[in-house]
Amino acid sequence: MLIKKDGNPFGSHRVIEPEGVLPQPAEKIDNSFATIWDNEILIDVDFLNIDSASFTQIKKEAGDDSQKIADKILEIVNSRGKMHNPVTGSGGMLIGKILKVGDKLKDICTLKEGDKIVTLVSLSLTPLKIDEILEVKKDTDQVKIKGKAVLFENSLYSKLPDDIPDTLALAVLDVCGAPAQTARLVKQGDTVVIIGAGGKSGILCAYEARRRAGVTGKVIGIEYSEKGIADLKSLNFCDEIIKLDASDALSCFEKIRDLTSGNLADVIINCVNIQNTELASILMCKERGVVYFFSMATSFTKAALGAEGACKDIDMIIGNGYTKGHAEIALNVLRESQQIKKLYEEMYL
């Protein structure tokens, strides 16, 4: 295999069009791997975990047909050189085995050939080549493939843990920024509302919110699906579980206003994978409170102008997928909570 030298640490050497941008906003990047650069890590890919908003959109477009879902994923990757959904703008993550570590990285990274890793950067910026899609797991947003990918010098990754099965670790690490940010934002005594609390990221956030808010705090879970509500009830992390459509801003506001005696919530965590939930998040938050938009379905424009229109002086945080220590925080939730681990094993194994 040929090795090129002096690749850009952020991966701009892989950008085909438009020139001068980084891989994430690029329309097309180079996903050929006969040659890699000296600051790249070549991966033999086993599974993709498609971002929830992206997979939901693709599944809806494909009429819930597995073959059409696979065809759409191949169409995106073949045209863009990466799994970057042009509708949602989001990607996902992958797990695989290290095939080659570029010469420039050998002395500064701990990886060696044969190590199994999960990438902690979005597929929307990761050069990816799919040779074959072997299975589409519609219930878990995961896709088993044969293919290759590369990480750049500045890309994040984590070795797969020995005590947690690969597909379970992938599922949890795909959303590891959410519980880590929840742990940072929630303080003792806070009232916390989690939108989409019965989903994969929502459950992890509910666990962290319960722990951080303590006995003097209150955790309220908003969920629409019957399964999500049942899962939340079995876990017992939420003081209140409410069935609400998060796109119905006024209904959400009125319910939380009544539950909190008009005080509203200190912290809102938005984990849903559907559009038009920005205003519900804003209206349920008290003055000088915090709204954390983890969902990739969030519109910055709707959030910014919605808060302005509602005269809400609140802090709104975009869901940065990276928080220091986020991978270990998420995996430790599985190690600490046998309830969550058992539930997720039933879903992802």
Give the separation between CA 77 and CA 54, rounded to whole angstroms: 13
Give me 142's structure tokens.
């995961």
Give the separation between CA 268 and CA 340, rounded to whole angstroms: 22
Listed by start position, the domains of the chain span: 2-160, 177-348
**Are 279 and 248 spatial neighbours (Cβ–Cβ below 8 Å)?**
no
**Are 155 and 51 spatial neighbours (Cβ–Cβ below 8 Å)?**
no
Alpha carbon separation from 158 to 96, 118, 119, 166 (Å, rounded): 11, 5, 6, 12
The strand pairing partners of 316, in sequence order, are 291
User: In the prediction, which pLDDT does 322 show?
Assistant: 83
**Are 160 and 166 spatial neighbours (Cβ–Cβ below 8 Å)?**
yes
Give the separation between CA 272 and CA 147, rounded to whole angstroms: 30
- Express each pLDDT in 88-103 by its tens digit: 999 999 999 999 999 8
Architecture of domain 177-348: 3-Layer(aba) Sandwich (3.40)
Give the separation between CA 135 and CA 144, rounded to whole angstroms: 5
Give the closest residue to 173 by CA, choosing from 156, 186, 185, 187: 156
> How far from the centroid of its chain's Cα atoms is residue 226's Cα?
22
User: In the prediction, which pLDDT does 207 show?
Assistant: 98
> How far from the centroid of its chain's Cα atoms is residue 79's Cα?
23
Cα-flanking dihedrals φ and ψ of residue 46, to 5°? -105, -50
Under-50 pLDDT residues of the chain: none
Task: Look at the chain and count its residues.
Answer: 349
User: In the prediction, which pLDDT does 40 show?
Assistant: 96
User: In the prediction, which pLDDT does 211 show?
Assistant: 97
Give the separation between CA 284 and CA 12, rounded to whole angstroms: 41
SS3 sequence of the chain: CEEECCCCCCCHHHEEECCCCCCCCCCEECCCCCEEECCCEEEEEEEEEECHHHHHHHHHHCCCCHHHHHHHHHHHHHHHCCCCCCCCCCCEEEEEEEEEECCCCCCCCCCCCCCEEEECCCCCCCCEEEEEEEEEECCCCEEEEEEEEEECCCCCEEECCCCCCHHHHHHHHCCCHHHHHHHHHCCCCCEEEEECCCCHHHHHHHHHHHHHHCCCCEEEEEECCHHHHHHHHHHCCCCEEEECCCCCHHHHHHHHHHHCCCCCEEEEEECCCCCCCHHHHHHCEEEEEEEEECCCCCCHHHHHHHHHHCCCCCEEEECCCCCCCHHHHHHHHHHHCHHHHHHHHHHHC
121: region left, alpha or beta (phi > 0 left; psi from -120 to 50 alpha): beta
Give the separation between CA 215 and CA 39, rounded to whole angstroms: 49
- Express each pLDDT in 107-164 by its tens digit: 888 888 999 999 999 999 999 999 999 999 999 999 999 999 999 999 999 999 999 9
**Are 155 and 123 spatial neighbours (Cβ–Cβ below 8 Å)?**
no
Cα-flanking dihedrals φ and ψ of residue 154, to 5°? -95, 5
Give me 124's structure tokens.
């929307």
